[in-house]
Amino acid sequence: MRLRIVSIASLVPLAGCKGWQSALDTHGPGATSLEKLFWIFLFILTVVWILTMLGLLVALRARRDAATDPLAVDATRERTMTRTVATLVGLTAVTVLALTGFSYAYQKRLFDRTENVLTIKVTGHQWWWQVDYEDEQPNRTFTTANEIHIPVGEPVRLKLEASDVIHSFWVPSLMGKMDNIPGRQNVIELQADREGVYRGQCAEFCGWQHAHMAMLIVAKPKAEFENWKNQQIASASPPSDDAQKRGEQVFFTSPCVMCHSVRGTSAGGRVGPDLTHVGSRLTLAAGTLQNTRGNLAAWIVDPQRIKPGTNMPLMQINPQDLDLLVSYLEGLK
């Protein structure tokens, strides 16, 4: 009975093998080659482990006569023993060399570089991701946060940087992890072979809210991606109705403007995420909350309860102003 419970419980972790954030459910060349490498290692090492355990079992079961001298050498068996040991040592060397070879062959692909691809700079902050899309034309660059949209089936180059401590960029379904290190730039290329939303997470402990530092990769067809890009390049749309107009006034008179920027207005803070098109994002607070009206209001009222230690301070805002402010931010599509 107990065995059954244990065996059922041991199946539970398998649920983690599928889904939008899994190194075993891969949709990009980088992650796929790592996955293959993982299975090769797992297979060979399982065989080695089973053989070792069998050998140990045989040794444990073997009975030795207490009377005979343990150091006595049987001349007839000595030659066989030498051969067996030599064969096993040789096999071990071949296995280790083979594993090293596989490792080299697959990992080499991870660092292949293609020219003239979409380049995105991803900067890790405590505890969110700043995403800068680069372009040869300066007026076609733009900044967003915690959400990276990429065209499907194309390699994309990511320049990884950090502003405060070491972070690590990891989207398990698309690519292996790579550190964001303050003062230097690491480069990786990733590609999504299938449309969809993939989740990534900071993979290097970076402080109190390390666990709440996620980002989404949205892979979509080229045409859709270009539409999205053009929409993101545009300045913020001016507030359309009365509530949004008054909400904009609340935004400009409150502490929001110290840190956040809304392109097309005088708000130009560089400390927090760019809010120019915050209404079009899927999540808030680096993948912590769904982007809904209620969550947005909750986050503004008390960010320190949702992500204690975050740099966004508490501000006392009356309910009417909050309602207007949320209307304004929601309208920033």
Partner 1 sequence: MKLLPFIICLGFSLAACEREKRDFRTAPVSEESQEKTALVSLSPGSSPPEQEVSGKARSFEGNAYHLSQGKRLYAWFNCNGCHANGGGDSGPPLMDDRWIYGSSLENIVQTIREGRPNGMPSFRGKLPDDQIWELAVYVRSMSGLEPKAAAPSRNDDMHPLPSENRMPPSSPVPGGSASPSATAPQ
Interface pattern 146-165 for partner 1 (x via CB under 8 A): ------------------x-
Nearer residue to partner 1 within complex by CB, 181 or 243: 181
Q: How far is the CB of 293 from partner 1 (least distance, A)?
A: 22
Name the minimum Å distance from CB 250 to partner 1.
12
207 near partner 1, judged by CB under 8 A: no
Q: What angle do CA 181, 183, 184 make, to 5 degrees?
A: 65
Q: Provide DSSP, 88-147.
A: HHHHHHHHHHHHHHHHHHHHHHHT---SS-EEEEEEEETTEEEEEE--SSGGG-EEEESE
DSSP label of 236: P
Question: Does residue 84 interact with partner 1 by CB under 8 A?
Answer: no
177 within 8 A of 169, measured Cβ to Cβ: yes
Identify which of residues 68 and 316 has a Cβ nearer to partner 1 in the complex.
Answer: 316
Instruction: Kindly report the backbone phi and psi dihedral angles of residue 33, in degrees, each rounded to the nearest multiple of 5, phi listed first.
Output: -70, -35
Measured from the CB of residue 314, what is the shortest distance to partner 1 in angstroms? 4
Residue 276 CA to its chain's centroid (Å): 24
Q: Does 183 bind partner 1 (CB under 8 A)?
A: yes
- The C-alpha atoms of residue 51 and residue 62 are separated, in whole angstroms, by 17
State how far the Cα of 67 lies from the Cα of 70, in Å rounded to an integer. 9
User: Does 309 interact with partner 1 (rule: CB under 8 A)?
Assistant: yes
Contact pattern from residue 267 through residue 306 relative to partner 1, giving x for each residue in contact according to CB under 8 A and a dash for the rest: ---xx--------------------------------x--
Rounded Cα distance between 144 and 276, Å, is 8
Strands 289-290 and 167-170: unpaired
- Of the pair 132, 154, the CB lying nearest partner 1 is at 132
**Cα 186 to Cα 197: distance, rounded to the nearest angstrom:** 24
* Closest CB 109 distance from partner 1, rounded Å: 34
From 64-72, 104-112, 213-221, 312-320, span contacting partner 1 (CB under 8 A): 312-320
**Which is nearer to partner 1, 156 or 326 (by Cβ)?**
326
Number of residues binding to partner 1, judged by CB under 8 A: 17
Output the CA–CA distances (angstroms, integers) from residue 66 to 58, 70, 312, 322, in the order listed.
Answer: 18, 9, 75, 87
Contacting partner 1 within 239-258 (CB under 8 A)? 254-255, 257-258
Give the one residue of 182, 238, 264, 294 binding partner 1; rule: CB under 8 A: 182
Binding site for partner 1 (CB under 8 A): 164, 182-183, 254-255, 257-259, 270-271, 304, 308-309, 313-316
